[in-house]
A and B are shown apart, each in its own frame.
Chain A
Amino acid sequence: MSAASAREATPKLRFTAVAKEFVAPRTGKRTLAVTDVGLSIEAGEFVCVVGPSGCGKSTIMNLVAGLDAPTSGTITMDGRPIAGPGADRGVMFQDYALYPWLTVSQNIGFGLENGTPGRGLSRAERDARVRHFVELVRLKGAEDKFPHQLSGGMCQRVALARLLANGPDVLLMDEPLGALDAQTRLILQVELLRIWGETAPRAERKTAIFITHDIEEAVFLADRVVVMGTGPGRIRAILPIDLPRPREEGTRADPRFAALTKQVWELIRDDAYQAIG
């Protein structure tokens, strides 16, 4: 077997019978957050995870990021089990997790400055990289501002630029657009796809896991949508999204878009009602 075909055979990320149980520190109460998660994600694939609140979406992300370890089952990346957090998997948190004492440029360069992604880079190279990503997310002119001086949409771009500047293999995004107003959100969805490399050939794209509770957002962005359910959190269904790329505003008018959205909603509906009730 050639090296190339071996790489093809190993998915970028593979979940095998993954379960995660939390034990409350004081009461000792056990909660099963997710169970029986099995999933393979190919390199360059954009996967959206949707589900009602409490389905363990964020747990999945923490497990991939290595911030938590599964109680049972395995998660591998390129065939090797995930042993802890590392810069090969970049995370974009829901609340952005920007450092309030650093400027926009310093935030974007934080990983290059202090972490493994900056190893072997000269000062000038790091600065150039930061400048490149400042421009990519259209933050030129705001480099020296502090996060508290920025709008939610701008903070989100800083977080995205920081994620990309570290050059991770896998992008993990936990409801990154969740805190934004509806209009900004639509604009940034298109922008996110542009930056991810929608127009580039598949081999040059990053692998992305995008967590959201917004069904339309998931269908609009994803190659495949993983629908999760509650009680305990588990995978309900995995839907391939065969809408053509690059996707734009017109995509939402596509009858297939409406059909897919409806299909996802029907899978989620019962759990969602239960979550409120």
Chain B
Amino acid sequence: MANSLAPSPSIGLRSVPLTIWRAIALPLLLLVAWQLWAMGLPADTRAPSPAKVLAGFVRLTLAGDLPLALIQSIGRVVAGFLIALVLGLSLGLAMGRIRWVRDGLEPIVESFRPIAPMAILPIAILFLGTGTPAALSIVAYAAFFPLLLNVMHGVSRVDPKLVLAARTMGVPPLRTFTHVILPAAMPSVLLGSRLAMGSAWTAIIAAELAVGAKAGGGTSGGIGQMMFVFYAYSIDLNGIVVCMIVVGVVALLIDRAFRGAERILVRGREAT
């Protein structure tokens, strides 16, 4: 959606700087206002300012804390996403193609769907403790539903004529599945993956934040817990803002990467 909403690129060399100027004008203004506001406060203030946030970012990066926390969080998201991918793909394909599987499972899926990942967290902690396994299960839970629903709708909406055409050409069922149904459902699978990755990233931050919050800053790590430590122990608002920005940038990169993959893979298919 963001793509179609973007202002259309202007033509001519002279108008390009204007477009860029427009894009940065308001963010720049807000940043300057924020800095000026912070500079007007007493010297011992805890309030964050752009300069202090930047300094904090450099410090945390050089000390290695931030990269380490980031790697931990991303690693958990990827692992949780892969679990969800395996489950979501296999169940989604089964529910999309086989009537009785869908009839049996859909009510259960629909009753779990409105339960937020964070509501499952206390149970996960009871079973798995406050470490990585609990966080992984939350991530997998969060990523599972978008994957499952999109895969299911993707394969169940494949044009029956395509399947019939393959049958009239004598293509065996398994080959029909791998060569007709899967490719036709590809856009939905990719869309589901992108949405799943987005909610997985949100869920890991929430899980780490809450686990950190309740375990009193254990060793489970991750960027979410880093934020909690800044909140509860070192009272470093600049550090919190650094983490927020990093969380946002990673979310943006994940989204762009999956959109890019969608464009490449789906466009290749449309051309055939």
Chain A complexes with chain B = yes
**What residues of chain A have their CB less than 8 Å away from a CB belonging to chain B?**
25-28
| Residues of chain A contacted by B11 (CB below 8 angstroms) | 26-28
CB distance from A122 to the nearest CB of B (A): 44
| Residues of chain B contacted by A27 (CB below 8 angstroms) | 11
| Residues of chain B contacted by A25 (CB below 8 angstroms) | 8
CB distance from A30 to the nearest CB of B (A): 13
Bitwise interface map of B from 1 to 27 toward A, beta carbon under 8 Å scored 1, else 0 = 000000011010000000000000000
Instruction: Please measure, in the bound complex, the distance between the C-alpha atom of A25 and the C-alpha atom of B15, giving whole angstroms.
Output: 13
* Across the A-B interface, the 6 shortest Cβ-Cβ residue pairs: A28-B11, A26-B11, A26-B8, A25-B8, A26-B9, A27-B11
| Residues of chain B contacted by A28 (CB below 8 angstroms) | 11
**What residues of chain B have their CB less than 8 Å away from a CB belonging to chain A?**
8-9, 11
CB distance from A107 to the nearest CB of B (A): 29
Instruction: Please measure, in the bound complex, the distance between the C-alpha atom of A25 and the C-alpha atom of B11, giving whole angstroms.
Output: 8
Instruction: Please measure, in the bound complex, the distance between the C-alpha atom of A26 and the C-alpha atom of B12, giving whole angstroms.
Output: 10
Instruction: Please measure, in the bound complex, the distance between the C-alpha atom of A26 and the C-alpha atom of B9, giving whole angstroms.
Output: 7
Instruction: Please measure, in the bound complex, the distance between the C-alpha atom of A27 and the C-alpha atom of B8, giving whole angstroms.
Output: 12
6 contacts between A and B (CB under 8 A): A25-B8, A26-B8, A26-B9, A26-B11, A27-B11, A28-B11
CB distance from A29 to the nearest CB of B (A): 11
Instruction: Please measure, in the bound complex, the distance between the C-alpha atom of A27 and the C-alpha atom of B11, giving whole angstroms.
Output: 7
CB distance from B10 to the nearest CB of A (A): 9
Instruction: Please measure, in the bound complex, the distance between the C-alpha atom of A224 and the C-alpha atom of B8, giving whole angstroms.
Output: 44
Instruction: Please measure, in the bound complex, the distance between the C-alpha atom of A197 and the C-alpha atom of B11, giving whole angstroms.
Output: 51
Instruction: Please measure, in the bound complex, the distance between the C-alpha atom of A26 and the C-alpha atom of B11, giving whole angstroms.
Output: 6
Instruction: Please measure, in the bound complex, the distance between the C-alpha atom of A25 and the C-alpha atom of B9, giving whole angstroms.
Output: 10
CB distance from B141 to the nearest CB of A (A): 39
CB distance from B97 to the nearest CB of A (A): 32
Instruction: Please measure, in the bound complex, the distance between the C-alpha atom of A186 and the C-alpha atom of B8, giving whole angstroms.
Output: 44
| Residues of chain A contacted by B8 (CB below 8 angstroms) | 25-26
| Residues of chain B contacted by A26 (CB below 8 angstroms) | 8-9, 11
Instruction: Please measure, in the bound complex, the distance between the C-alpha atom of A118 and the C-alpha atom of B8, giving whole angstroms.
Output: 39
